[in-house]
Structure 1
Amino acid sequence: MRVLVEWMPRLREAMATANALPRPVKALHIFSRHDGQPYTMSGFNSLVQRLQRAWEAAGNERFTIHDMRAKAVTKLRDEGRQAKDITGHKSDQAIDSTYDRRRVRKGSAVE
């Protein structure tokens, strides 16, 4: 299943900021090495780990890409939206067991 996610103002702003960063050469990739080539998986992981150490040293808690996805799913659920429309999952089962991290789940009483 393909999922098309709309551009939101914060995403547009983040992309504009990333594209405005100085680069020694024109690159086709948003995140690229100094020579304009894409990072290898190992290089990208190393970059992410350096950023995470700096984030943690500033007093924040480390997180993973999976944590970001779980946060998005939880927010969608809190707003009453269908998370599977955004994640691409066919059912709610994987979402319920893996990504939904609400501490308290709310529901309406039946009359």
Structure 2
Amino acid sequence: MKKVVTAAVLTGILTLTGCASYSPWDVMPYQEANAWKGIGVQAYDASTLRSNGFTPTDTKEWIQAGIKSPQTIVEWNKAGFSPRTASKWIAKNFTLENAISFKKQGLTVE
């Protein structure tokens, strides 16, 4: 009987904890959350981008250039690439490291 009660209590606690789970949308102003949603960015991706200084407006340019991964956006942006330039390098299957190296040599991708 003790096992049944313990299992029931544990199940209840886990259920309540799951219902009270945190969402990144909860910590953003309503209008900002809607802006992120409006450009098709999921909550956890928005949180990552936001914590790296991106706004929905900044991110929209990257998404329009075909780059949707928050990690890719942050890395290429920190390396000094614009959304359009980064998308060209990525489309040609260059790694960020190679793109940086070629860029330092004055080369561009077309």
TM-score by length of 2: 0.23
- Which fold has the larger relative contact order, with Cα–Cα distance below 8 Å and residues 6 or more apart in sequence? 1
TM-score by length of 1: 0.23
Structure with the higher fraction of residues in helix conformation: 2
